[in-house]
Structure 1
Amino acid sequence: MKITQGTFSFLPPLTDEEIVAQIGYALDQGWACSVEYTDDPHPRNTYWEMWGLPMFDLHDAAGVMMEVNECRKTYPRHYIKVNAFDSVRGFETMRLSFMVNRPEEEHGFRLERQDDRNRVQRYALRTYATDRPAGERY
C-alpha cells in the first residue's frame, strides 16, 4: 500500500531532477523550503521531525537538495518530504509539500472497530508501523 500524502502523491516517485525542478519553482515564488521525516506516516500525524531549520535565506535548489540527500543518508528507511512555506503576510502557510523518500516496504493501515456507548460503532485507522517502537519501524 502506497501512502498518499502531499502534492504529487498519486504519481510515480519523482526523480532527483524533478525534485530539483519543484524546489526551484518554490524558491522562484519566494517560498522557504524545509525538509521533514517520519517513520509514522499516519494522515493525522502532522508533526514530522524537522531536518535542520527552515531555509528562509536559501535561494538555490542545490542547497535544498543537499539537505534532502543528507536526510536520505541518515534516514534511508523513513518517509521524507520537502515543504515550501509562503511567509507573505496574510498567507503564512504551506504552499507545497511532497514526498522525496519512502521506505522500500510500506506497511499500510488497518481499520479497527471500537464499541462506544449505546452500541455505537466507531472506526479508527491504525498504522502497522506503530506496532514497533520508534526507530525500529522500517
Structure 2
Amino acid sequence: MSEIQDYKSKLSDPNSRQFETFSYLPQMSDEEIRRQVDYIVAQGWQPAIEHTEPENAFDHYWYMWKLPMFGETDVDTILEEARKCHEEHPNHHVRLIGYNWFHQTQGTAMVVYRGPVEA
C-alpha cells in the first residue's frame, strides 16, 4: 500500500485551501474541464453555476448564477455561462455543478475559476 499523503490545507493560509474533489488534483486545462462538462451532459445531469467570494467559500452558501440549465446539452453554452459568471464576478470563485435528478443530489462539483486569494 502506498503512503497516504497529508494535504497541508488550513484556514490561516487561504492559498492552501481545497474546494471539491478536483481541487486535490493538478489544475485542469480548458480541455479537461470541457471533458468534465461532456461527462455531466452524458450522465443526463443538470448543469448549474455558483459563485462566491473566496473568503466565504467555506462557511457560506454559494450564490446561484441564474437558474440551473435544465435540459442543456450543449457544452459550449454551459462553458460560456461559466465564463460570463466569471466576467461578471472576477473576484469570486466560480464552480460548475452537475445535479443528478435520479439521486436528488450533486453528481459532481468543481471550481472552474478561482478568484484572487489574499493571505
Is it true that 1:74 corresponds to 2:88 in the alignment?
yes
1:107 corresponds to: 118
Q: Is there any run of 5+ residues in structure 2 with no aligned partner, and where?
A: 1-14
Partners of 1:82 and 1:33 lie apart in 2 by: 7
Match of 1:93 among 77, 88, 105: 105
Shift of 1:43: 2.3
Tell me the matched-pair count: 104
Match of 1:19 among 33, 39, 43: 33
Shift of 1:65: 0.3
1:129 corresponds to: none
**What is the TM-score with the length of structure 1 in the denominator?**
0.70
Contact 1:83 1:96 (C-alpha < 8 Å) held by counterparts: yes
Match of 1:43 among 33, 42, 58: 58
Deviation beyond 4 Å, 4+ runs, structure 1: none
Residue type of the alignment partner of 2:31? E
Partner secondary structure for residue 53 of structure 1: coil
Partner secondary structure for residue 35 of structure 1: strand
More helix by share: 2
More strand by share: 1
Percent sequence identity is 31
Q: Is there any run of 5+ residues in structure 1 with no aligned partner, and where?
A: 109-138
CA-atom RMSD, angstroms? 1.4
Q: Between Structure 1 and Structure 2, whose CA radius of gyration is higher?
A: 1
Between 1 and 2, higher relative CO (CA 8 Å, sep ≥ 6) is seen in 2
Residue type of the alignment partner of 1:98? M
